[in-house]
Amino acid sequence: MRHLRAAVALLLFVLFVYVPAAIYMRGLIGWAAVVGTPRHRHRRRAGRWRALWNRPIIWLLRYVLGVRLTIRVPPGFNAVTQTRPVIFVANHRSTLDIFVINEVARHMGLRDVRWVLKKPLRRRGGIIGRSCNETECAFVQRGHTLDFAEVERAALTARADGASLSIFPEGTRFRPHRARTFQHVLDPRPNGLRHVVEAMPGYAIASVTLNWDTGAARTILDNASISGSSLVADVSLHRIRPDQVETWLATEWAAKDRRLSSETRQIDQDVQVAQAQ
């Protein structure tokens, strides 16, 4: 049943998400070239379109793969009145996390999210890489200090367009053997986020803790592993200065690790009770 769900989800994704999105993106690029659409307007259109085709992906996750997605925002948060762009930071478990963050943004009343991504996604990321290229996201290679200028450029562009920006401070997906200080998250790297905060002063940081109750899928092609699983996206809002980034990240990632440890123990207890019954 799990593999049947995965096959159906993949087929629907290709036919009703990937192909239409790719066709539209080519048309959008061609139209911009013909009529000379200003760059800022083209970026905004591409960003809104990416948010739109993110919706059927979440639908596939929920109703075909049976993923139980829960999004928790801070008490008192009102998505209707508090729609100012933010800086998203999150722990990273899966390529699907990009779609989940986009859904969190929609839940918060935000429609245009720019990204800091690994350079290989520019060429091998398919429609994701192409759409991010058109919205002038940052493509970086871990450990290259010159790429911080790329991060700053993308942040300034997002700020000018009134868009949010998302970054994974860990720089790569979590694997248990890579963990050093923590058990459920990797040590965050502060330099990229520091450049973002410097370029986007006054922006709130939306810290998202992603908790998959199973091993998260690497890509949409590896979706059998998450069929029937649960995912909780827990959001908290913060305001920090550039000089506070390193200390804040260390504190926040320690809190994420404790939260994930607690929720993992609770899941294990629930499974044991279910098995006993």
For the chain (277 residues), the mean pLDDT of every run of 10, in chain order, is 81 89 91 93 94 93 93 82 90 91 94 93 83 94 78 97 96 83 93 96 96 70 77 95 97 96 62 43
The predicted structure's pLDDT at residue 13 = 87
The predicted structure's pLDDT at residue 275 = 43
**In the chain, where are the structural domains located?**
2-276
The predicted structure's pLDDT at residue 156 = 98
The predicted structure's pLDDT at residue 232 = 94
The predicted structure's pLDDT at residue 218 = 60
The predicted structure's pLDDT at residue 8 = 85
The predicted structure's pLDDT at residue 180 = 86
Cα torsion angle, 7, 12, 13, 15, sign: positive
Tally of residues, the chain:
277
With H, G, I as helix, E, B as strand and everything else as coil, classify residue 153: helix
The predicted structure's pLDDT at residue 272 = 44
DSSP labels, 161-184: HT-EEEE-TT-S---GGG-SS-SS
